[in-house]
């Protein structure tokens, strides 16, 4: 595997060297810094997917043997019984995966995919805004934290950003997770990365040359340096061709915002542009009305989520060893269904972690029998695993981050072993 990886890397580099008449500056730096890290430390990549709106963890991964849940959800409960028309995928005799996530099942069986259930924030807020803010800052009781946890993670990586693409969010504006002092960029579409004029490619090329000249000579060091990096980055992407991208292994990404984001993240990984932390979003999880069961809103959402991630994983091919995917959502939803066939804001939810070093094939965490006395505030799946426990373990082991006190201030550091 390592040999193949090494080959791919030098292959990409050689391609640049040939097409650009030299290796771009920042890429050369990247290679140098990697040389310093090699052979024991390789650049790892963490991909975070935020499911905004609060996913119903109890429907994604259902404790289907729990009669309390069945009672609480007369029209939303699903079973793993083979006699039913669209049964849950029985993971371990107790938890069943939503059938629309069937593409996750093989990954789970191969022990690369882990699920953590009862995950959430110690802060009991049920406001989307507050809970997302707390999860993204990583400080569940302090809204004032200026930086996001992923930005702090970038700062703790132990080496300088070698390229502008160290931390990239596939969103139109920078997410709260990326706020902070370390460089992080938001790109909504890789194809927009360049000097452009609609329907006017030649003029754009002329302008690009002019801009490059101007930024090359400006007296502002910030503009000069960033300008240089920008044009090198543009050349890099355009030479290898971000257009007409063909995923490996016939991977098919859903044509959805998340699918497109992950496809572009895969491109960046394969282009070896120095990506280490990537961020993408998935929306539509706030299912107060007619959540649906095997079909419907929720099913469409989980189908998109799992298909996008599976396509990404398939596409990554030889790069899988270096990549870890982690989903997150601000809280879960009520155990009882509400009056409009949906669920309201709750507490604990579940998350998915995918990677070759993941302690997979298990539903981690603790989900008690859902009798009223076991529920938080008598209504919600209790939070039994602090999200920081998972975030810090994944970031710590995968990205080799040592200083957890900076990553998650005031956190006790307890781990549950989701990474081997």
Partner 1 sequence: MEEVVKMGLEKWVQRQLQADFPNSALEQRLAKYETLRMSNAQIVQTFPKQGQVLKMAIREGLIDKDAVRKDAADKISKQEYQAKLESYMQQKGFKPQRILYQEMVNQKILRATYSENQLQEILTSFWFNHFNVSLTNKNCDLYLTSYERDVIRPNALGKFETLLLATAKSPAMLTYLDNFKSTSSNADLTPAQKQRQERQIQLLERRQEQDNTMQQMQVAEKVRRAKKAQGLNENYAREIMELHTLGVDGGYTQQDVTQAAHIMTGWTINPAIDGYRLDNAPAAINNPKRTEALQKQGFVQEGDFLFAANRHDKGRKEVLGTTFPPQGGYEEGLQLIKLLAHHPSTAKFISTKLATRFVSDTPPRSLIDKMAKTFTEKDGDIREVLMTMVAAPEFWSKEALREKTKSPFELAISSVRSLNAEVHEPRHLATWITKMGEKIYSYQAPTGFPDKGTYWINTGSLLNRMNFGLALASQKIKGISFDLVALNQNREPESAEAALITYSQFLMPERNLEATIKRLTPSLNDPEFGFKVNAAAHKNQAVAQKEPQEQEEQMMLDQPKKRDAEKNTSVANTTFHQKGGNSPMLAQIVGIIIGSPEFQRR
Question: 315, 248, 313, 242: which is closest to 273 by C-alpha?
Answer: 242
Distance CA 148, CA 80 (A): 39
Min dist CB 416 to partner 1, Å, is 29
Parallel, antiparallel, or unpaired for β 61-63 and 95-97? antiparallel
Min dist CB 330 to partner 1, Å, is 13
Question: What's 177's DSSP letter?
Answer: G
Min dist CB 51 to partner 1, Å, is 17
Min dist CB 220 to partner 1, Å, is 6
Complex with partner 1: residue 313 or 408, whichever CB lies closer: 408
Complex with partner 1: residue 10 or 189, whichever CB lies closer: 189
List, in sequence order, the alpha helices (H) in 21-114: 25-37, 57-60, 67-72, 104-109
Q: Do 238 and 194 meet the contact criterion of CB atoms below 8 Å apart? A: yes
Distance CA 145, CA 289 (A): 34
Distance CA 199, CA 287 (A): 41
Complex with partner 1: residue 77 or 313, whichever CB lies closer: 77
Min dist CB 205 to partner 1, Å, is 7
Min dist CB 235 to partner 1, Å, is 12
Min dist CB 354 to partner 1, Å, is 27
- Enumerate long-range contacts of 405-411, CB under 8 Å, 24 or more apart: 406/152, 406/155, 406/156, 407/138, 407/149, 407/152, 407/153, 407/156, 408/138, 408/139, 408/149, 409/139, 410/139, 410/141, 411/138, 411/386
Complex with partner 1: residue 87 or 296, whichever CB lies closer: 296
Three-point CA angle 213, 214, 215, nearest 5°: 95
Min dist CB 129 to partner 1, Å, is 5
- Peptide bond preceding 369: is omega within 30 degrees of 0, i.e. cis? no
Report the interface residues with partner 1, using CB under 8 A: 127-129, 133, 137, 142-146, 164, 172-174, 176, 179, 183-188, 192-211, 213-215, 217-220, 222-224, 226-227, 229-230, 233-234, 288-290, 292, 295-297, 300, 340-341
The sign of the torsion formed by the CA atoms of 258, 262, 264, 268 equals positive
């Amino acid at each position: 595997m390592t040999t193949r990886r090494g080959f791919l890397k030098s292959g990409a580099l050689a391609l640049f060297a040939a097409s650009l008449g030299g290796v771009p500056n920042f890429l050369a730096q990247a290679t140098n810094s990697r040389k310093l890290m090699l052979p024991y430390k390789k650049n790892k990549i963490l991909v975070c997917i935020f499911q905004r709106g609060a996913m119903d963890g109890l429907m994604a991964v259902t404790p289907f043997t729990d009669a309390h849940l069945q009672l609480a959800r007369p029209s939303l409960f699903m079973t793993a019984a083979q006699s039913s028309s669209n049964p849950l995928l029985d993971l371990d005799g107790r938890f069943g995966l939503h059938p629309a996530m069937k593409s996750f099942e093989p990954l789970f069986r191969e022990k690369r995919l882990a699920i953590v259930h009862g995950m959430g924030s110690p802060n009991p807020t049920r406001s989307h805004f507050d809970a997302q803010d707390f999860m993204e800052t990583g400080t569940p009781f302090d809204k004032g934290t200026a930086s996001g946890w992923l930005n702090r993670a970038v700062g703790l990586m132990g080496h300088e950003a070698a390229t502008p693409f160290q931390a990239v969010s596939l969103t139109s504006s920078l997410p709260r997770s990326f706020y902070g002092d370390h460089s992080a960029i938001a790109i909504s579409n890789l194809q927009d990365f360049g000097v452009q004029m609609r329907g006017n490619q030649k003029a754009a090329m002329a302008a690009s040359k002019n801009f490059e000249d101007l930024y090359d000579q400006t007296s502002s060091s910030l503009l000069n340096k960033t300008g240089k990096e920008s044009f090198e980055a543009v050349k890099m992407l355009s030479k290898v061709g971000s257009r007409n991208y063909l995923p490996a292994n016939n991977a098919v990404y859903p044509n959805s915002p998340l699918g497109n984001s992950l496809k572009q993240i895969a491109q960046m990984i394969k282009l070896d542009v120095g990506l280490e932390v990537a961020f993408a979003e998935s929306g539509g999880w706030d299912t107060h009305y007619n959540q649906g069961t095997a079909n419907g809103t929720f099913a469409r959402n989980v189908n998109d989520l799992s298909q996008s991630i599976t396509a990404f994983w398939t596409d990554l091919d030889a790069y899988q060893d270096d990549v870890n995917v982690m989903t997150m959502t601000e809280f879960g939803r009520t155990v009882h269904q509400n009056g409009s066939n949906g669920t309201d804001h709750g507490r604990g939810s579940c998350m998915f972690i995918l990677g070759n070093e993941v302690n997979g094939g298990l539903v981690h965490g603790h989900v008690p029998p859902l009798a009223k006395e076991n529920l938080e505030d008598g209504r919600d799946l209790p939070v039994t695993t602090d999200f920081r426990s998972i975030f810090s373990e994944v970031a710590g082991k995968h990205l080799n981050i040592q200083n957890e006190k900076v990553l998650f201030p005031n956190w006790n550091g307890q781990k549950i072993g989701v990474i081997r």
